[in-house]
């Protein structure tokens, strides 16, 4: 299991605390320092079953500067969104937990983190 975090994020810290409390085995990726490339973002999106706009923090200042709120949300615009997430990782919703069964979740709630844990714990 891998968890993409921003250490300054309270949701990320809560997810880490829950994983620790459950004794889960995981690897931390500080995605602002170890920025995922476009292929990694596509792979995570596939695991999540989501589109790039679904994991974009559209209220961030960078998102507003880029004008992402006005971008199309369709297959033709997908690459533009992925490129923006790779170039501006602060826009990626967090934390993202890749589960042992090949899926992933956005772990913003305790239930979502527990869902990731239930998908093949490594205790």
**Whether the Cβ atoms of residue 31 and residue 89 lie closer than 8 Å to each other:** yes
Q: Which residues are catalytic?
A: 9
Burial 58-94 (b: 16+ CB within 10 A, else e): eeeeebeebebeebeeeeeebeebbebbbebbebbbb
- The DSSP secondary-structure symbol of 12 reads H
How many other C-beta atoms lie within 10 A of the C-beta of residue 54?
Answer: 13
Helix, strand and coil in the chain, % to nearest 5: 50, 15, 35
């Amino acid at each position: 299991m891998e968890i993409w975090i921003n250490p300054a994020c309270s949701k990320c810290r809560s997810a880490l605390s829950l994983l620790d409390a459950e004794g889960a085995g995981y690897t931390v990726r500080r995605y602002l320092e170890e920025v995922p490339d476009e292929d990694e973002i596509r792979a995570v999106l596939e695991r999540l079953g989501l589109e790039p706009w679904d994991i974009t923090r559209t209220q961030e200042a960078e998102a507003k500067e880029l004008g992402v709120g006005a971008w199309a949300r369709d297959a033709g615009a997908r690459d533009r969104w992925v490129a923006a997430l790779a170039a501006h990782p602060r826009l990626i919703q967090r934390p993202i937990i890749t589960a042992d069964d090949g899926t992933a979740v956005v772990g913003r709630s305790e239930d979502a983190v527990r869902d990731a844990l239930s998908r093949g714990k490594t205790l």
